[in-house]
């Protein structure tokens, strides 16, 4: 059975939105870790602090977006407009992953329904993009405050190589 072209587009837009949600999770984790970087001086970290930091990093890797955002909110103060955009993105992410198709039920069966679903997915993507931009700004500021804004040339070259090869890197 063949599938209409707009249904493929619908699935592609859903995939794009899901990827944006995952990138947002990563950025929330980065913000949490950069707050921690403000507290610790890398040259003064001992064995116990390394174990604790590894535990925090592992916890960030396992956390959901909601949990990461609650953690970030608990360790810093943010402008209400940033919180509003990020909270809205969290709602969009949860709706997307848990209720999007169920909410639209039979709409996927008709051209008009699929069109409406695609438009909604594009709106969700915009909200996720806006939140990521805000978290990138927060992360950039924290990175500078922590003195981590200068990436050594060898790290930049390694990142370019990984990107070229399309490798997955587990930290």
The one-digit pLDDT tens for each residue of the chain (171 residues) are 688 999 999 999 999 999 999 999 888 888 887 877 777 766 666 777 677 767 766 776 666 777 777 777 776 778 888 889 989 999 999 999 999 999 999 999 999 999 999 999 999 999 999 999 999 998 888 888 877 777 666 656 665 666 666 655 555
The DSSP line for 46-91 is -HHHHHHHHHHHHHHHH--HHHHHHHHHHHS---HHHHHHHHHHHH
21, 93 in Cβ contact below 8 A?
yes
């Amino acid at each position: 059975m063949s599938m209409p072209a707009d249904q493929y587009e619908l699935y592609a837009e859903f995939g794009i939105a899901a990827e944006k949600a995952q990138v947002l999770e990563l950025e929330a984790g980065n913000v949490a870790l950069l707050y921690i970087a403000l507290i610790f001086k890398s040259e003064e970290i001992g064995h116990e602090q390394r174990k604790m930091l590894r535990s925090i990093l592992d916890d960030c890797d396992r956390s959901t977006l909601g949990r990461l955002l609650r953690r970030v909110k608990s360790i810093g103060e943010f402008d209400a407009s940033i919180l509003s955009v990020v909270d809205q993105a969290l709602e969009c992410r949860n709706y997307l992953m848990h209720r999007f198709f169920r909410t639209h039920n039979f709409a996927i069966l008709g051209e008009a329904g699929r069109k409406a679903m695609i438009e909604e997915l594009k709106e969700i993507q915009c909200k996720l993009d806006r939140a990521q931009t805000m978290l990138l700004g927060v992360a950039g500021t924290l990175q500078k405050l922590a003195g981590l804004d200068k990436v050594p040339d060898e790290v930049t070259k390694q990142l370019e190589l990984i990107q070229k090869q399309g490798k997955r890197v587990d930290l």
